[in-house]
């Protein structure tokens, strides 16, 4: 059996990163793409034709079921493993129509079971039968129609990036340093001042934590302590401890403690 070409779909960056870290342990799983919204997922699935998709159901605007409805009529629909926060009773409605499902936060042993089922499905060549059930489920759903979904897919994605600052301007003794927000690893507070950590440099900005939070995209920057904000894209390792605490290691090597009050931020890694 060759590599299982896989796409991950979830609107939460931390959830995507957590699932990817767990799947990296499986040598035969090759992650060929990640998608942060439904329309992006449809486009990637049609173009890349993966063997397997880990599909989040609860995504704003264009959810996991909408993704599947949009694939009806395609020559090949990949095997699907739902990733969801639904309880068992809700899952009963579609359990028979997907290869498997995972409840958030994703359990490592449960993920291993799902991968085993994927391998068996591929080796036994039952993917066509499985997908026929999935198509039957999708076609039985009333709303929205295929035409409406097509219209949604063709509509340009509205950008909300202008709500958040792409750069921070740091004033220091008459000089202004422009820092790209994407380069910031983390920010910690010292009274009414923010320490902006970028690589080996630390910039000081007079700002409150509350105001700083409003300037940053919450999909990328999350509070992990009452005085610390971290760039999720810079997290390279999550280390839970037996006492219930958790530590994040950033790409620059810095280790940050996650306060128990903000543990839900990394809950999908645990």
For residue range 8-23, what is the model confidence (pLDDT) as tens digits?
A: 999 888 888 889 989 9
Do residues 170 and 48 both lie within one domain? no
Which of 25-34, 247-256, 260-269 is predicted least confidently? Answer: 260-269
DSSP collapsed to 3 states, 77-116? CCEEEEEECCCHHHHCCCHHHCCEEEECCCCHHHHHHHHH
| Domains in the chain, number | 2
pLDDT above 60: residue 255: yes
Cα dist from 187 to 66, 146, 233, 236, 248, whole Å:
37, 45, 14, 17, 14
Do residues 169 and 191 both lie within one domain? yes
pLDDT above 90: residue 48: yes
Please state the rounded mean pLDDT for residues 108-112.
91
Assess contact for 197 and 225: CB atoms under 8 A. Answer: no
Continuous segment of H or E residues that includes residue 224:
strand 221-225
Residue 238's domain comprises 162-269
Do residues 119 and 204 both lie within one domain? no
Strands 235-240 and 228-231 come out as: unpaired
pLDDT of residue 89: 45
CATH of the domain at 249: 2.40.50.1020
At residue 160 the predicted structure's pLDDT band, cuts being 50, 70 and 90, is very low
User: d(Cα 268, Cα 236) in Å, to the nearest integer?
Assistant: 15
Do residues 34 and 137 both lie within one domain? yes
Do residues 113 and 183 both lie within one domain? no
Do residues 12 and 141 both lie within one domain? yes
Q: Which of 122, 154, 186 is the last residue of a domain?
A: 154
Q: Which of 100, 126, 154 is the last residue of a domain?
A: 154
Please state the rounded mean pLDDT for residues 126-149.
57
Do residues 40 and 125 both lie within one domain? yes
User: d(Cα 195, Cα 179) in Å, to the nearest integer?
Assistant: 12
pLDDT above 80: residue 213: yes
Do residues 118 and 243 both lie within one domain? no
pLDDT above 80: residue 97: no
Give the predicted TM-score (pTM) of the model.
0.53
Rounded to 5°, the CA angle 43-47-50 comes to 100
> For 188, how many CA atoms within 13 A lie in the half-sphere containing its CB?
10
pLDDT above 90: residue 68: no
Strand order in the sheet with 246-250: 235-240, 246-250, 255-258
Do residues 44 and 137 both lie within one domain? yes
User: d(Cα 144, Cα 270) in Å, to the nearest integer?
Assistant: 35
Q: Which of 154, 183, 218 is the last residue of a domain?
A: 154
Do residues 168 and 258 both lie within one domain? yes
pLDDT tens for residues 190-200? Answer: 877 899 999 88
Do residues 145 and 179 both lie within one domain? no
Continuous segment of H or E residues that includes residue 23:
helix 13-23
Do residues 90 and 199 both lie within one domain? no
pLDDT above 50: residue 270: no
CATH of the domain at 31: 3.40.50.2300
Residues in the chain, total: 270
């Amino acid at each position: 059996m060759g590599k299982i070409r896989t796409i991950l779909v979830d609107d939460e960056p931390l959830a995507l990163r957590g699932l990817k870290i767990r799947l990296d342990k499986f040598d035969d799983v090759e992650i060929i793409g990640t998608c942060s919204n439904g329309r992006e997922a449809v486009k990637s699935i049609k173009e890349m034709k993966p063997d397997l998709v880990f599909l989040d159901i609860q995504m704003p605007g264009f959810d996991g079921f909408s993704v599947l409805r949009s694939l009806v009529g395609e020559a090949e629909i990949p095997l699907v493993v739902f990733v969801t926060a639904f309880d068992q009773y809700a899952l009963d409605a579609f359990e028979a129509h997907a290869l498997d499902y995972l409840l958030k936060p994703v359990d490592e042993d449960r993920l291993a079971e799902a991968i085993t089922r994927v391998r068996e499905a591929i080796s036994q060549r039952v993917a066509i039968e499985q997908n026929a059930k999935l198509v039957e489920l999708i076609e039985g759903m009333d709303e929205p129609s295929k035409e409406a979904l097509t219209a949604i897919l063709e509509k340009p994605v509205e950008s909300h990036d202008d709500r958040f600052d792409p750069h921070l301007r740091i004033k220091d003794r008459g000089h202004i340093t422009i820092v790209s927000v994407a380069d910031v690893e983390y920010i910690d507070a010292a009274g009414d001042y923010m320490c902006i950590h970028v690589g080996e440099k630390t910039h000081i900005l007079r700002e409150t934590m509350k105001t700083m939070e409003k300037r940053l995209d919450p999909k990328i920057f999350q509070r992990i302590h009452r005085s610390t904000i971290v760039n999720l894209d810079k997290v390279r390792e999550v280390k839970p401890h037996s006492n219930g605490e958790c530590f994040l290691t950033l790409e620059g090597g810095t280790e940050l403690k996650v306060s128990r009050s903000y543990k839900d931020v990394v809950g999908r890694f645990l």
